[in-house]
Amino acid sequence: MEPITAAFGLACIAAGGGAGFWLRKADARLTTVNDTSVVLQQAQAAHFTHLNSEVGSLRHQVQELTDLVSALRATNPEMHGAILAHEIIKAFEENNTPDHTLVAHAMSALETLVSHISTEASIGDETLLTATSASLLGRLLGAFDKQAVSASTLGLNPVAAHRLGHASLLLARFDWAETCFGLAYQSSPGNANILEALEHIALLKGDDEVRRHWLEARMTVHPDQPDLLRSHAHLLAKLGDAEAERDVLRLEALGVDTAADRSLLSGLRARAGSRSEALEAIEQALAEDPHQSADWLSYAQLLNEEGEAGKAHQAVERCLELDRQSGEAWALLAELLAPHGNRAKEALKAATHAVALDAGGTNLVFLKSNLQHTTGLTQAAEETLEKALLKDPANAELRARMAGAKLLEGDLQSAQKLLDETPFGIDHALLHVVEGRLHLALGDLARDGTGQTDAVLLSEAVSSFEGALKLDRELGVAWLGIARTKRLLRDIEGASEDIARAMRLLPENDPSAAAEAALLAIDQNDLSTASKHADIASVFGNVATVAYVRGNIALRRGLFDKAVEQYTSALESEPTHIRSRLNRCSALMGLNQPRKALDDAQILVDLAPSMMYARFLRAEALMTLGEWAQARDDLEHVLESAPHHHQALTQLASCFMSLERPERAEQPLNEAIRLQPNYAAAWFQRGMLYLEIGRNDNALDDFQAAVRCDGSHLESQKRIAAIHHQAERFDLAEPAWRAVLALDPESDVAPTRIAICEAALLKA
């Protein structure tokens, strides 16, 4: 055998052996895999058998649970309703436009949720609903609201509506409660439970008229029930209905009246004006039970109204012995003690207690502040008002009265600030009144040189007072403010009507209307009527206002010394009384006391630099004192803001002539005559100018024009007579001198000149 053939054979034998060995190993592994697969299949079969057994067991348990839930829902309507409500809420959330089927299911859910509630349940019983039921019911009602589904559209039967009414009441859903009880009422109008619920809802909503309706409906069912009679009496008393007394008398007739009932009867009789009967009733109540602090307070208030201040003091002290925290008692004690100057500290202590207990309202805050002023605690008095306003910035009455006080003090900026800081949305008639008075005060300070008040400010004042009347047509101070503004606008008839209305509305002890009526009478030159009104105002009047009015009456009568006396009295009481100082300045000029008049005018200019009338008065005083240059400056300042001021133009011309500048005098005089052709002083002054520059004929024409404007203008008549006499026109001079003598019977010159004229005429 060849070597190659042998090698090849050996290789084939080796390859065959290797292949056989690999096949044997592969077969062994395959056998192992088959065995494992069989084991796995057997294990899986066992597992699935066990799993099927477990699933069957679980299905059985689930069925048992399902059956149990069904049994619970069947035997527990509240749980069934809760589950159903939850399902309905989800359905509502998923459907923007629910169909009738869903609404029907919702109604069923509602009825089930409230099915356990008794129709005779106590009103407001918090045990009627569990926390879960209340939450679900609230969510369901909210869902109904979003879908515009109401109780009336659900189609609830009367019993379900009655039950849902109780549930809605617990949820404070008064709209649903009122509608549901209303549906139930239609079916059972005499049901006491429904009537009580409807009355209770009206009480919670604060609707006294509706509550009265349902309360009286309850009384038709139980006419003699004491609690109903008492509730009805208190409600009618609150509404101001005199029929409340009848309920208390019925309680008395039934023999079930109490001390509290007799106390209420006392209050009713006091309100009706029968104070003696009220006192008798409260005394009877106190005799039966002297330990009721409220009755002692009522007794003290009645005694105070009867003018029995001493007994009222004793009664209020008794009240405070029983109840030291009675704020109203402290307030009454402060009012009783305040008029006695020697007890101001005790009054202040009582007022402090009352304010601390939030009693007495705005009046007590101001009483406390005034008492602090009286006892020398000026800074504390201001702080009392500021703290009260800080505590209650929405208290419009307090803010208005504080601003009004600032006005009286002449502090217009503080008054304006108080008004400007009024919280947004707060409105009150008194705020409008103070705003109107502020416009009038600003008008006083902004008078032009003629003394007229700014018409724009007056129109704004009218708007403010009318704003007050829109809120309260019976507010006397607003009518008085309009009357004052109309008087300044020269609407005499309208002012008279408004003053009459204010007098009917204001308290008898308020002198402001009488004072305003006096000022109106002065404008009409009816001084006797003005004096009568001033006397009425003086009974309760503000010293400054009454003195000012009487000063105006004296000034109109030409009694300058008496006028100065009255204006001085007004200014001593109220140093910032602008009109008193203005008028005193004029009266002093009438008394030829220019130096004192100048002092008043200077104070006015310092107080109100924009008051042109004060500058005009100062100019007049300066002219009388021979201070022509200063007077000219003031007059030019006046004319810058009031170029129409014909009097200032005339006085300015006088200054130029006295300053030896006649060439500058003619133009202002021409303008004054153009503006006011009937102003005699301007014609006379221009005549004097023409005389000075030698234009006698022109001067004569102007003097004659002055006489035509004012037949009693003596100086012009003298100049006319003198010009004719100097020109030897004795036929004209003689009657002119006689006219002078008629105007001035004490004249020494006129008779002499008349004799000269007569002699000259005889010679001719």
Distances (CA, A) of 730 to 461, 721, 733, 764: 60, 9, 5, 10
pLDDT digits (tens, 9 = 90+) for 514-555: 888 999 999 888 999 989 988 888 887 667 888 999 999 999
Among 185, 204, 223, which residue terminates a domain? Answer: 223
- What is the pLDDT averaged over residues 408-419? 84
pLDDT class of 333 with cuts at 50, 70, 90: confident
pLDDT digits (tens, 9 = 90+) for 666-684: 999 999 999 999 999 999 9
Query: d(Cα 593, Cα 583) in Å, to the nearest integer?
Result: 14
Provide the percentage of residues in the chain whose pLDDT is more than 70.
Answer: 78
DSSP states of 645-658: -HHHHHHHHHHHHH
3-class DSSP state for residue 526? coil
3-class DSSP state for residue 223? coil
Please tell me the pTM assigned to this model. 0.58
Residue 270: its pLDDT value, please? 47
Please list the alpha-helical segments (H only) found in 240-360.
244-254, 259-271, 275-288, 293-305, 309-322, 327-337, 344-356
Among 171, 193, 223, which residue terminates a domain? Answer: 223
pLDDT digits (tens, 9 = 90+) for 704-720: 999 999 989 999 999 99
384 within a domain of the structure (yes/no) = no
User: 49 or 402, which is more confident?
Assistant: 402
80 within a domain of the structure (yes/no) = yes
User: Of 603, 606, 560, which Cα lies nearest the Cα of 581?
Assistant: 603
Q: Considering Cα of 151, then 156, then 157, then 161, what sign does the dihedral take?
A: negative
Are both 37 and 169 inside the same structural domain?
Answer: no
Query: d(Cα 166, Cα 236) in Å, to the nearest integer?
Result: 27
User: 496 or 611, which is more confident?
Assistant: 496
Are both 179 and 81 inside the same structural domain?
Answer: yes
Distances (CA, A) of 677 to 140, 470, 620, 671, 674: 87, 45, 22, 10, 6
Are both 82 and 217 inside the same structural domain?
Answer: yes
pLDDT class of 269 with cuts at 50, 70, 90: very low
Dihedral (Cα; 216, 220, 223, 226), 10-degree rounding: -40
Are both 66 and 127 inside the same structural domain?
Answer: no
Angle in degrees, 0-180, between the axes of helices 512-523 and 543-556, rounded to the nearest 10: 10
Are both 55 and 123 inside the same structural domain?
Answer: no
Reply yes or no on whether the pLDDT at 601 is more than 60. yes
Which of 95-109, 301-315, 477-491 has the lowest average pLDDT?
95-109
Among 171, 197, 223, which residue terminates a domain? Answer: 223
Query: d(Cα 179, Cα 158) in Å, to the nearest integer?
Result: 11
Are both 139 and 210 inside the same structural domain?
Answer: yes
134 within a domain of the structure (yes/no) = yes
Reply yes or no on whether the pLDDT at 440 is more than 60. yes
733 within a domain of the structure (yes/no) = no
- Chain centroid, CA 155 distance in Å: 47
Residue 205, domain extent: 76-223
Length of the chain: 764
133 within a domain of the structure (yes/no) = yes
User: 260 or 487, which is more confident?
Assistant: 487
Residue 100: its pLDDT value, please? 63
102 within a domain of the structure (yes/no) = yes
Residue 295: its pLDDT value, please? 78
Quick count: other Cβ atoms within 10 Å of Cβ 58?
A: 10
Question: Mean pLDDT, the chain, as a whole number?
Answer: 80
pLDDT digits (tens, 9 = 90+) for 559-590: 999 999 999 998 988 887 888 999 999 999 99
Reply yes or no on whether the pLDDT at 136 is more than 80. no
Amino acid identity of 511? Answer: P
Reply yes or no on whether the pLDDT at 207 is more than 60. yes
Place of tokens 């009527």: 529
Residue 166: its pLDDT value, please? 84
Q: Domain tally for the chain?
A: 2
Which of 75-84, 160-169, 669-678 has the lowest average pLDDT?
75-84
Are both 121 and 149 inside the same structural domain?
Answer: yes
Domain with residue 194: its CATH number is: 1.25.40
Tokens read off for 516: 């305003």
84 within a domain of the structure (yes/no) = yes
Are both 95 and 138 inside the same structural domain?
Answer: yes
Are both 81 and 217 inside the same structural domain?
Answer: yes
Are both 128 and 38 inside the same structural domain?
Answer: no
DSSP states of 612-677: HHHHHHHHHHHHHTT-HHHHHHHHHHHHHH-TT-HHHHHHHHHHHHHTT-GGGTHHHHHHHHHH-T
Residue 764: its pLDDT value, please? 63
139 within a domain of the structure (yes/no) = yes
Are both 99 and 135 inside the same structural domain?
Answer: yes
Are both 32 and 149 inside the same structural domain?
Answer: no
